Structure 1
């Protein structure tokens, strides 16, 4: 896999789809209601700063993934547990995305199907794709992402036809003041989904054109974030701030209101297809990052064993991580995102950049 290459466009498609992932279905900034779009804009700004950190680290150590550069920055012995933390983070995050897909499918279209069948079937498909390596995932992203965006825009157009569509739902802007919005958005709005793009550091060495990594990373955050912003505005227009705050699957709830001349309706399948596609981007990014990390940390000659092992661990972890979807969300947004994400996606990268900067200055002198 080390000899594989992907184009800048393929990596952009993969990471932009990764940013959208599950966030576009679940909705962001629900706690601030009609100010959710401002919540996402704050997240984009913070995400761009984080991407500057990620890309600068990659510029200091070109050709190295996050796992490979850790020993060069903090030493061999300290880097080992830190690398394991990131591998676990990627693995658990992939499991969380699988659980969200399973809950959506089981509660909407396959109500009689056990969740283990849904998640297991999806993971079998993921393992098959991941065995093809980085290039295979890149090509799939190149094919799937334009279709994904077309489906999203089509849903937005259909939402204009709903009788509930009301731009006044977006007011009052900052009705509760600026500080509650800022406190809600920092760090949670930055961590999810923008901070999760730290996994892109595992893919930079595979770019066929060196020096394009910063442009690809920044565009992924910007394009993915702006699409999420527009989507949140459309959801609030249709659902209103109260329903947007309480509904678990906002895009699905809004799409179910579409009915054109009592003939064209029930576009749920389109949303389900988008969810599967979004989870594909998310799980492929996280799992491939974990696979590369395991292979590099333990000096494996082939990635196949790591792919198969994670293909077993991830669905099992998705099923046992929470007893219900509400518990899954509570743990994610009250514990994992504000605390674990903050340490792994903000604090440690900034610390690594400071150490790398000092080392480069000393080496230069």
Structure 2
């Protein structure tokens, strides 16, 4: 492992900004309509359960990242195979987010700029940050967390002042009952963003104050869940259900509706900054986890040396994956949760925890 330590507060800002990066990936599906905010809150409760699974594994092996303790639990061969698949999983999600971020910028701000140029510039910054290590990523999160808070506060005030929030759009609550909301919560929203905290199983061993990991993680997930639910409710109250469900980026449409005193309008930069900060941390943490996992597997003494080649791989794969933003969003909603996220975020960690329980019980006896 890298010889580094991060504080509980840095872990909080990392998780919060990481979870917030999913704002581009949480569409309002037609099944839940105006109850999208409630689906997020229900999924958050499920996310707490997943976090306890990841935390319990960390308690068994507090000095080892995920890709190391799977080898302790499953043996050398099976453990290495599973660790390799987790590295591929981290790379795959980083590729997806980079592509969606690039497509978003082209769609709303730079229609004449090649996607490759945007992705190259963004991934170069991320490669440099990952090369410097988890302490630099953590310190960056402290600074940008303050910037994000200022953006959120000023954006929310502008929405209120402009008078475009209509709470009647959020009614009626549970028009079709609770079943569609629960189904949406546990088939999509649970995995994105709350189940994605599995990647922090690669980072927990770096936290100086081990006793703060559980409390910090729960606070960060709870705060991000409340913020995402608030965003969903605001989008629906500003745009209405139909427009929100049709928009690729509902928050962008809400921000574009702001008009104060006849001159303060077209504040697209707010959304771009939101998306840029969130995507930066989401890709950086997945990328960092992939680099560290690969260095463990292939016994690379200096993990930072893998940052540049793996960054190039992520860049090239982002250019080769999919053909449009609509295709990416459809895959994120319909295919990835069931066939990719469910095994890696839920099924495998549960099985690992069961194995860890029996193995460590035998040791105790």
> Aligning the two structures, in what range does the TM-score lie when normalised by the shorter sequence?
over 0.9
> How far did residue 172 of structure 1 move?
0.9
Tell me if the contact between 2:25 and 2:192 (Cα under 8 Å) persists in the aligned partners.
Answer: no
Aligned counterpart, 1:44: 44
Cα distance in 1, alignment partners of residues 202 and 25 from structure 2: 26
> How far did residue 163 of structure 1 move?
4.8
Q: Normalising by structure 2, what TM-score?
A: 0.97
> How far did residue 298 of structure 1 move?
1.0
Aligned counterpart, 2:322: 322
CA RMSD in angstroms, aligned pairs only = 1.2
**Where do 1:63-102 residues align within 5 Å?**
63-102=63-102
Tell me if the contact between 2:68 and 2:296 (Cα under 8 Å) persists in the aligned partners.
Answer: yes
Cα distance in 2, alignment partners of residues 262 and 359 from structure 1: 67
> How far did residue 89 of structure 1 move?
1.0
Aligned counterpart, 1:340: 340
Cα distance per residue 1:227-285 (max 9 Å; x no partner): 10111111111011111111001111100011111111121012101111110110111
Q: Normalising by structure 1, what TM-score?
A: 0.97
> How far did residue 338 of structure 1 move?
2.2
**Where do 1:55-134 residues align within 5 Å?**
55-134=55-134
Aligned counterpart, 2:292: 292
Aligned counterpart, 1:245: 245
Tell me if the contact between 1:55 and 1:217 (Cα under 8 Å) persists in the aligned partners.
Answer: no
Q: Which runs of 4+ in 1 moved over 4 A?
A: none
> How far did residue 28 of structure 1 move?
4.3
Cα distance in 1, alignment partners of residues 305 and 127 from structure 2: 11
Aligned counterpart, 2:23: 24
Aligned counterpart, 2:218: 218
Tell me if the contact between 2:106 and 2:112 (Cα under 8 Å) persists in the aligned partners.
Answer: yes
> How far did residue 187 of structure 1 move?
2.8
> How far did residue 185 of structure 1 move?
1.6
Tell me if the contact between 1:29 and 1:40 (Cα under 8 Å) persists in the aligned partners.
Answer: no
Cα distance in 2, alignment partners of residues 187 and 339 from structure 1: 11
Tell me if the contact between 1:16 and 1:221 (Cα under 8 Å) persists in the aligned partners.
Answer: yes
Cα distance in 2, alignment partners of residues 26 and 358 from structure 1: 37
Where does the alignment leave 5 or more consecutive residues of structure 2 unmatched? none
Tell me if the contact between 2:28 and 2:244 (Cα under 8 Å) persists in the aligned partners.
Answer: no
Cα distance in 1, alignment partners of residues 328 and 251 from structure 2: 19
> How far did residue 337 of structure 1 move?
1.6
Where does the alignment leave 5 or more consecutive residues of structure 1 unmatched? none
Aligned counterpart, 1:15: 15
Tell me if the contact between 1:199 and 1:286 (Cα under 8 Å) persists in the aligned partners.
Answer: yes
> How far did residue 27 of structure 1 move?
3.8
